[in-house]
Amino acid sequence: MSPIYELAAQHDLPVFIHSDATSIVKKTPVYLWELEEALSRHPGTRIVWCHSGMSRRLDVPRLPEEVFRLLGQFPNLLVDLSWNVLERCLMPGGRPDRSWVGLVEAYPERFMVGSDVLGNYGSAYRNVIELHRAFLSALKPETARKIGIDNFLSVLPWQIESRSPSLQETLAE
């Protein structure tokens, strides 16, 4: 993967990594070393950790603490809040988890929403967006805007400046 990380850094492109934090038989993060190695060996590459390393059947009770530690250690790490981390961690039982709210407020420039919805863009997508809205409503308005819009736009290979055309105008060209 090193050549890919280097190419991404040269062109200021993000690399989205789907890497589980652990296995279904462990509750401690046993695979974080792989992510940490990529982050430390390629500090010029922006790496987006998709759904914070969560997937089906994983249980990582200390995941917010691990994400906090990683964000403090690696300035090139961003975190996608989609799929299982959204449903099981951020919004368990449909209510915002206070530890995740605090974590996102501590690093408002380092998180972004995502859907991870494949093949079903009807009700499944709407349900994910509603969960995001509920989580974002628990954040400060300026943090919610960063998480919901600005941070994703910041990883695109072009930047939007205040004197630039609106996003809609740019995309219409």
Model pLDDT for residues 109-144, shown as the tens digit of each residue: 999 998 776 676 677 778 888 888 999 999 999 999
Distance between CA atoms of 12 and 5, rounded to whole angstroms?
10
Write the burial class of residue 155 (CB in 10 Å: 0-12 exposed, 13-18 middle, 19+ buried). middle
User: Could you tell me the domains of the chain?
Assistant: 2-172 (3.20.20.140)
Asked if residue 151 lies in contact with residue 110, where contact means CB atoms within 8 angstroms, the answer is yes
Average pLDDT over residues 25-46: 88
| 82/59: higher pLDDT | 82
Tens of pLDDT, residue by residue over 155-169, are 887 654 544 455 455
Tens of pLDDT, residue by residue over 10-25, are 988 999 998 777 667 7
pLDDT of residue 107: 98
- Percent of the chain residues past pLDDT 90, beyond the cut: 47
Average pLDDT over residues 54-63: 75
- Beta-carbon contacts of 6 under 8 Å, excluding residues fewer than 6 positions away, are 42, 45
